[in-house]
Amino acid sequence: MQLTFLGTGAGAPSLQRNVTAIALTLSKRGETWLFDCGEATQHQYMRSDLKPGKLEKIFITHLHGDHIFGLPGLLTSRSMAGLKEPLTLYGPPGIRQFIETALSLSGSYTSFPLEIVEIGAGLVFDDGAFRVTAWPMNHVVECYGYRIEQHDKPGFLDAPRLKAEGVPRGPWYQQLKQGERIRLEDGREIDGAEYLGPPTKGKVLAIFGDTGPTEVALQLAADADVMVHETTLEAALAEKANSRGHSTTIQTAQVAKQAGAKRLIATHFSSRYLSQDRERLLAECQSVFPQTVLAHDFAVFDV
């Protein structure tokens, strides 16, 4: 899996950063989920290696403009390109009204099946490969963070051992790979679980919406392989950040440390910060949690 940051700014775009949008690519085939869709996200998409036709799901954390104003353009451009692949959009209550009103008033439509799911805290979906849950954030409007958990993969099937024990190859190998029990023509019962190696633990990714300090954060990011968290302001501006439902460098790093995350990617920086401020912001984060990196537009990270 890979994360591509299409926008890393907070509130308004700047010459160095667009507003928030993060793409999660799930496999080499390019299936993509988008987390938030700030203004001009479709422009950022065109400047990246991502393919609009591979976009399957969009997850919105909250309804502030810097997280949703790119949706109408992205959806209608996708239609104008003739793409037919279905798309599911998840977000807090009100996201359906926003989309339907924007499309209706502009005389626009989608040429592909569009499902809009308004969410609350808890399970968003589980398709057997990934489980996504939403967690309430401490913001000035209803806002969620998303925990993406990849299901553990079964261990490798010990085919040489099966062959040595006289189990012929056949379509039942797929059942054995799933740990199922089969009966052969000679009457023998074979338990696939006895021929599997140890499972491969799935990855865990935590993507936060805008938030001030909250105890929920430790559950959302618990033991995450990668934690993506807003870092709107520097440590000296904690009172200002928290009063507006945002976090500082130090507060973000403390969450990563206390939650047991393996890596922290900091993003959602105020437009007051320029490229020359990066080292200072990074140093503040790393003073608490050394495994921190700062995102920048078009940065790509392996999960």
Catalytic residue numbers read 66
Give the Cα separation of 269 and 282 in Å (integer): 12
Residue 246 CB partners (closer than 8 Å, separation 6+):
10, 210, 211, 212, 230, 232, 233, 268
Give the Cα separation of 195 and 43 in Å (integer): 50
CA 92 to chain centroid: 16
Give the Cα separation of 45 and 130 in Å (integer): 24
Q: What tokens does 260 get? A: 């047991």
Give the Cα separation of 28 and 39 in Å (integer): 28
Q: What angle do CA 29, 39, 48 make, to 5 degrees?
A: 30
For 75, the 3-state DSSP assignment is helix
For residue 117, what are the β-bridge partners? Answer: 90
Q: What angle do CA 140, 62, 129 make, to 5 degrees?
A: 135
Would you tell me the crossing angle of helices 249-259 and 278-286 to the nearest 10 degrees? Answer: 40
Residue 97 CB partners (closer than 8 Å, separation 6+):
none
Give the Cα separation of 280 and 249 in Å (integer): 10
Residue 80 CB partners (closer than 8 Å, separation 6+):
none
**Residue 178: how many other CB atoms lie within 10 Å:** 12
Q: What tokens does 199 get? A: 């499972």
